[in-house]
Structure 1
Amino acid sequence: MIAKYPEYTYQECISSYGKPPTIIPQTHMPFYYGSLIDRLLPITDYIICRALELPLVDTACQRLIQSLAPLYKYHPTPLTFTYTVLYYLNDHMKKPLSKTFVLTMRRHVEDMHLTEAFEKYNHQRDSLESLFIELVDRIALSLDFVLSPPPFVAQDWKTAEFSPGAQTIYLACIEIMASPHPPEAIVSAMINMLMVKPQQRPYNVINILALLLTALPDVYGNVLHDEFIAVVDRSLAKNHTFEEIVFDTFEEAQLLHLTSRPLIINALSQAYWTHCKWITLEKFTCDLAPKILDRVQTENDLWYALRLLVPLLQRCYEWPKEKTRHLTESLEVVRTIIDRIAYLTSIGIDIVHSDELCDLLYHFKYVFVGDYLRNNAEATFAGFPKKMRDRLRFYATQSDRKTDEKKMGPETWKRRLAELYACSWYWGDISWKWAEKLLLLCPEGYFLVRDSRSDSHLFTVSYHLDGKVYHSRVSTFGTLAHLGDRRPLHCSESVVELIQHVVEQSQRGEHDMLMHRRGAEAEASKMQLSRPLGRLELLPSLQYLCRLKIRQKCPPAAISSLRLPPNLLAYVTHTKYLIPDLEASEQVLKIRAENGLWPVS
């Protein structure tokens, strides 16, 4: 093979072309040779994954793994490979085979330092609570050391696959996924650990456990959610006071070792949903939050559920660059909360802390939903007790009742967002700098719509005119969208209709003089939109098109459960899935600009 395809050094290549050497031989440092092992490793990765996935005899798989495992001493990312295989095949692999796979890799991978409880005793000698105490202590040590890292992580940072903290977390996940214990026992041990041992730094411990849960397959998070629902079903919060449930006393209770299982489950659930990725959080707001509220039967259960839901609503609403996507989900959760309060009052539950509950409803209005749920809320408030009705009499002001403008409901909002996402000229969350780069390569009149970086606007129209790129924000008032101030010449029911109107107006030779200034240099005297710059016109990659089609066809709650490897699932669930490769798009536009290859209108 080497004789047929020889590998030459730089000097030998230069000599073969008959050119004089451009380097000094005495000081020449040869480049790294390609290795046959480097070429074999991607093939062995695929072979091992397929062998573990197919219903083969365990002994055959074990022999195959033992034969190929020595190659992984030279694998560039052995921990990532081991973690990915266990994560992706969590439902397929038998536990003994998982352990054999991990221990075989451990013998040949230098930096895979597992606990003695797993290597020697397979998590069978001591309790699971003691195991998690050891794992949490290892992660805490790897995150907080002074000079040298602990001995169970890579000592050479230059060649390490992960940072010390990330390496310890992934090693802990590998142990847990290869453990013979089911997810129910694992999550229960995490909860019991917080009850057995008083913690000096309880928030550090609970965040470490939450990070472990987010790095594990979704089945572990589902078990934690089932634990939370079990607390509500059994009304385990009935013996706690309002102050204990609502106010943050977790750290003090941990230091005094006075913790209760319901409060620990609530705190751990909140940490888990705070650290999770946005696609998992979207599943929570769409599916799991209504399921919790449907089981609430007492006021204490209601406050116990709100302790988890309200901070997560805030996170949904303030998610960076995703404010338009999560707004409708916040509306649905708030609607469900209001309906559940009405149900409790209708069955005769006396709301003792009604003032606090009314204050929370006002908070929902002014922070999350505005007047979107006003009509629904007013109809529901009619069934509240008189004390609560009096407290909520300012929920809809007199001027709100007199206004003629219709308020956009959540279903209408969802439909109009779907229409916007279907337009190829909507580029999502790209910066104004990239918008200018792309549009300056296009003829005048080209435009695109993108997410606004302003807190008071959702979208911005960027367009090329008079040799510059201008940016005009789209304002919304009630159900109407428009460009310019609050009293424009034209308003439309949606952003799509607004853009269509401006394009038709520009094609007739008419111009708008509507502009929000970004500075003195960005002042525009007119506005002209003649042709959209579409995302799909710039030869995007097949990978991008597949991701776009998956996101269009799959419901948001079902995307996280797709049977895909973690890296591919992360690509599919990326928040900026609408944006193609911007550098590749720029190159396509440069070629069009150089050759004049623009579509004829």
Structure 2
Amino acid sequence: ISGKNIFYLTDWRFNEFPNAAAHVLYVTCVELMSLPVGPQGIANNIIDVVLKGYTVIPHDQIHSWINAIGIILSSLPEAYWSVMYDRLHELITCNKMVEWSYRHSPFDMFNFKVVKESMLEKSYVLLLAVCQSVLHHSSIGQISTIADYIKDKLKPFVQNEYQLIYLCHLFAPFMLRLDQERPRIGYELTTLLYELLEQVDKKQSATTLKYMDPICDLLYHIKYMFVGDMLKVESETIIRKLRPALQMRLRK
């Protein structure tokens, strides 16, 4: 994490590994998989290094620790890195997320810099940062499973706009990469976002959506930057089912 090489000096040109960092990563993964503990227990403990141990990690090193966790988990088999979706499920279904009693907006609570500088509750941003780190270091084959995992493990439990905004923070940063490498997955995520918006709209039909403008702005950004008219039929079918205020914003 600190960048110091703990291995002996050697000519890596004639070594099994291309450099010291690759050697460290390989050794770490082998040691983790050889532990007499199941993948779920190992992955949860790795994630908890930051989620529970952030108090003893120097503030100027927290990003390096999160980055290291992302590299390690993404290098392990699916049984390990898929645990992050279980943790996401636990978080979005917790009482604080469902009821949302915070006086701060979700855009503050899900902003790493704001939370760090304002000493707000860190559980949301730390897990979000770890998951984004894992996805950032994942291969295109790994990140292509994100739509299926969200659909199977998270979508049925999204009931309010705070949960929806949290999921947007999770996958929106990777839309550009998906558009370049696997456009089909980007289309699936966009369709899923429309379906989630419809689901939230029905669940909160008796209340006003506070953050419909930012959500609609994201949908417009995705439409004009990535999907174009590829999902015109699917999106318009869902838009017709939404409340008038959302229809007006998404059709203008």
Q: Deviation at 1:363?
A: 0.8
Q: Which residue of structure 2 lines up, in the alignment, with residue 228 of structure 1?
A: 88
Whole-Å separation in 2 of the counterparts to 1:385 and 1:288: 28
Which residue is 1:371 aligned to? 229
Q: Which residue in the other structure is 2:164 paired with?
A: 302
C-alpha displacement of 1:271: 1.0
List per-residue Cα deviations over 1:511-534 (Å, max 9, x = no partner): xxxxxxxxxxxxxxxxxxxxxxxx
Residue 217 (structure 2) pairs with residue 359 (structure 1): yes
What are the Cα deviations for residues 236-290 of structure 1, in whole angstroms up to 9, with x where unaligned? 53355322344x3x256457775522322221111111111111112223x1132
Count of residues in Structure 1 that have an aligned counterpart in Structure 2: 239
TM-score (norm 1): 0.37
CA deviation after TM superposition for structure 1 residue 187, in Å: 2.2
Of the three residues 23, 37, 53, the one matched with 1:181 is: 37
Counterpart residue number, 1:108: none
Equivalent positions of 1:314-325 (< 5 A) are: 314-319=176-181
Identity %: 22
**Greater than 6 Å deviation, 4+ residue runs:** none
Normalising by structure 2, report the TM-score: 0.84
Amino acid of the structure 2 residue aligned with 1:220: Y
Structure 2 residue corresponding to 1:164, chosen from 8, 11, 20: 20
Return 5+ residue gaps in structure 2 as ranges. none
| Contact kept in structure 2, 1:183 and 1:220, CA below 8 Å | yes
RMSD between aligned alpha carbons?
Answer: 2.3
Of the three residues 57, 62, 67, the one matched with 1:198 is 57
Match of 1:181, SS state, is coil
More strand by share: 1
The answer for the alignment partner of 1:218 in structure 2 is 78
Which aligned pairs between 1:68-147 and structure 2 lie closer than 5 A? 140-141=1-2, 144-145=3-4
Higher relative contact order (CA 8 A, sep 6+): 2
- Measured against aligned partners, the alpha-carbon deviations of 1:54-103 in whole angstroms (never above 9, x if no partner) come to xxxxxxxxxxxxxxxxxxxxxxxxxxxxxxxxxxxxxxxxxxxxxxxxxx
**2:249 counterpart of 1:387:** no
Aligned partner (choices 173, 180, 186) of residue 311 of structure 1: 173
Give the SS at the match of 2:82.
helix
Partner AA of 1:170 in structure 2 = Y
Aligned CA distance change for structure 1 residues 317 and 275 (closer, same or farther; 3 Å): same
Provide structure 1 residue ranges, at least 5 long, that are not aligned to the other structure: 1-139, 320-325, 395-601
Higher Cα radius of gyration: 1
Contact 1:198–1:256 (CA<8 Å) still a contact in 2?
A: no
How does 1:446-457 map onto structure 2 within 5 Å? none
Q: CA deviation at 1:207?
A: 1.0
- Aligned position for 2:149: 288
Structure 1 stretch displaced more, 340-349 or 364-373:
340-349
Give the CA deviation at 1:334: 0.9
Please name the residue that 2:187 is paired with. Answer: 331
Write the letter of the residue equivalent to 1:229: H
Contact 1:358 1:392 in 2 (8 A): yes
**1:20-47, CA deviations, whole angstroms, 9 ceiling, x for partnerless residues?**
xxxxxxxxxxxxxxxxxxxxxxxxxxxx
Partners of 2:22 and 2:247 lie apart in 1 by: 52
Counterpart Cα distance in 2 of 1:316 and 1:359: 19
Change (3 A) 1:256 1:156: farther
